[in-house]
Amino acid sequence: MRKFNFSSGPSVLPEPVLRKAQVAVWDWDDTGIGILEHSHRGPEFTALCERAERLVREVGDVPDEYAILFLQGGASAQFHMVPMNFLAAGATADYCVTGTWGQKAIGEAKKLGQVHVACSSEASNFAAIPSADEVHWSSAPVYGHFTSNETIHGVQWAAPPPPPPGGAPLICDASSDLFSRPLEISRYGMVYAGAQKNLGPSGTVLALARKDLIERGSRALPTMLQYRTWASDHSLYNTPPTFGIYLVAEVLEWVRAEGGIAAMQARAVERASLVYDFLDQSRLFHGHARADSRSLMNITFRATTPALEAEFLAGADALGLANLKGHRSVGGMRASMYNAFPVAGARALVEYLDEFERAHR
């Protein structure tokens, strides 16, 4: 019996995709070879890579001016690759800091060059996303970086920050909300995401990057730290995480069959509204994020006392509502519900919240 898995990532995958993967692990598409065992240079895997790219373009509405890269090292590896590629000596890169991941991103950039904090919501313990007029870009940044959804704090930009000055590219860590809502890619120079939330398993990163931006990146770097290497070799410079790319393709196929990103967004709104609506009327529970900054992916919430939180979490586990414990920097509870998370799971959570509150009135 599979539980409702509220893990913040790695996280729940679509069940039809898992059923297909079970077969593919033994013998993929009647090739006589399991998906994990196929050569990345063979015709079957080459075709899979092309299919994965096509699906990203189609499902994500990504035009040809953007390269599609399957990277490794998690989104965290982009925290150094982005400044290594684009932050030259003497230049300044701007960062919006709205949570732990934004802090980590700027931390790595600081090691590599000059940075400017365009906005920070640290004073609120990252409970709020700055408004457009609270974003203060520097005069001539080489890029502006932000984190569209902060997994730990449960805040999400409803719309991206205003464009940086001088046509500088906006670069977005969209690890926890890529393809959960429509993406106006033309607003961005680059968007990247660890796959393990909305797209697939951990160990694979999907990046969409303007080809002309990639070309402007430093050439003095080791080969694999240059984005151009990944772009010109279609992510096949060396052996890629083949199973990860396979699963991303299968997940995107599933997204398309389910109605595309619009359908994913509708489900996210439905799931999150169920929980937020409950929290808004509760006397025992309250959300962490400010109402206008709430994430549709990660709902962070507290009970009135730590003892109640512990009791709530123990009861959740017993009911098969797994991985609801919040990150220590916020405390309490966190319900992560990505693309593959069923609406029924959100309903089950609200039922339990309601029951728990009635029992403790």
User: Does the footprint of its own copies cover residue 112 (CB under 8 A)?
Assistant: yes
Cβ neighbors of 45 (< 8 A, separation 6 or more) are 38, 39, 242
State which of residues 56, 68, 84, 324 lies at the interface with its own copies (CB under 8 A).
84
User: Does the footprint of its own copies cover residue 111 (CB under 8 A)?
Assistant: yes
Output the smallest distance, CB 298 to its own copies, in A.
Answer: 13
Instruction: Reply yes or no on whether 325 is catalytic.
Output: no
Report the C-alpha gap between 109 and 78 in whole angstroms.
Answer: 10
User: Does the footprint of its own copies cover residue 99 (CB under 8 A)?
Assistant: no
Query: Total binding residues for its own copies by CB under 8 A?
Result: 66
Contacting its own copies within 57-76 (CB under 8 A): 72-76
Rounded to the nearest 5°, which phi and psi values hold at 208?
-115, 120
Q: Which is nearer to its own copies, 131 or 223 (CB)?
A: 223
Active-site residue among 28, 137, 173, 230? 173
User: Does the footprint of its own copies cover residue 323 (CB under 8 A)?
Assistant: yes
State which of residues 99, 240, 326, 332 lies at the interface with its own copies (CB under 8 A).
240
User: Does the footprint of its own copies cover residue 255 (CB under 8 A)?
Assistant: no
Rounded to the nearest 5°, which phi and psi values hold at 294?
-65, 140
Output the smallest distance, CB 335 to its own copies, in A.
Answer: 13
DSSP state letter for 168 = P
User: Does the footprint of its own copies cover residue 95 (CB under 8 A)?
Assistant: no
Nearest CA to 192 among 142, 223, 235, 237? Answer: 235
**SS3 call for 137:** coil
Nearest CA to 85 among 215, 218, 224, 223? Answer: 218
Are the beta carbons of 151 and 336 closer than 8 angstroms?
A: yes
Contacting its own copies within 151-190 (CB under 8 A): none
User: Does the footprint of its own copies cover residue 235 (CB under 8 A)?
Assistant: no
Radius of gyration of the chain from its Cα atoms, rounded to whole angstroms: 21
Identify the bridge partners of residue 97 per DSSP, sorted by sequence position. Answer: 120
Report the C-alpha gap between 179 and 260 in whole angstroms.
Answer: 9
Nearest CA to 8 among 177, 133, 231, 190? Answer: 177
Nearest CA to 215 among 54, 80, 67? Answer: 67
User: Does the footprint of its own copies cover residue 238 (CB under 8 A)?
Assistant: yes
Output the smallest distance, CB 234 to its own copies, in A.
Answer: 16
DSSP state letter for 164 = P
Active-site residue among 94, 137, 157, 197? 197
State which of residues 98, 196, 235, 339 lies at the interface with its own copies (CB under 8 A).
196
User: Does the footprint of its own copies cover residue 88 (CB under 8 A)?
Assistant: no
Instruction: Reply yes or no on whether 101 is catalytic.
Output: yes
DSSP state letter for 29 = G
Per-residue interface string for the shown chain with its own copies, residues 17-56, x marking contact by CB under 8 A: -xx-xxx-xxx---xxxx-xxxxx-x--------------
Active-site residue among 28, 94, 101, 137? 101
Report the C-alpha gap between 164 and 107 in whole angstroms.
Answer: 20
Report the C-alpha gap between 75 and 206 in whole angstroms.
Answer: 9
Chain residues in the site for its own copies (CB under 8 A): 1-3, 5, 7-13, 18-19, 21-23, 25-27, 31-34, 36-40, 42, 72-77, 79-80, 84, 107-108, 111-112, 194, 196, 201-204, 220-225, 237-244, 247, 320, 322-323
Query: Which residues are designated catalytic?
Result: 101, 173, 197
